[in-house]
């Protein structure tokens, strides 16, 4: 697909790890990285909603977001993926 044909109106739901056990410098680095990605997506025209994940309660974090209305880039592994709760997301969000 050419750049002219790319859709930029797709809302992006950006989940990202934010572990309270991390050192303050690690937390700040993670926040800065997420802000850089958000800025890049917004510069392309995408509306972006950032959702920090600090525990395995993914249902609580996602319950207000309709998976038919957002795309979710896979940026990293989340705590729920290690605990066997990946099925909560399903394939409807993941790119």
- At 42-68, the pLDDT tens digits run 998 999 999 998 888 888 888 899 888
Start-end of H helices in 1-95: 24-43, 58-62, 79-82
Q: What is the pTM of this model?
A: 0.69
Confidence band for 18, pLDDT divided at 50, 70 and 90: confident
For the stretch 61-75, pLDDT in tens is: 888 998 888 988 766
Give every CB contact of residue 57 below 8 A, 6+ residues apart in sequence: none
Residue ranges of the domains in the chain?
Answer: 15-88
pLDDT value at 21 more than 50:
yes
User: What mean pLDDT do residues 21-50 have?
Assistant: 92
- C-alpha distances (whole Å) from 20 to each of 39, 55, 76, 84 are 24, 9, 17, 21
């Amino acid at each position: 697909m050419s750049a002219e044909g790319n859709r930029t109106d797709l809302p992006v739901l950006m989940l990202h790890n934010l572990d309270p056990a991390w050192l303050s410098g690690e937390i700040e680095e993670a926040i800065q990285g997420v802000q850089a990605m958000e800025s890049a997506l917004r510069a392309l025209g995408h509306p972006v909603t950032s959702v920090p994940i600090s525990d395995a309660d993914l249902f609580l974090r996602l319950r207000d977001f309709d998976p038919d209305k957002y795309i979710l880039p896979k940026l990293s592994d989340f705590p729920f993926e290690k605990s066997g709760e990946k099925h909560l997301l399903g394939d409807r969000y993941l790119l």
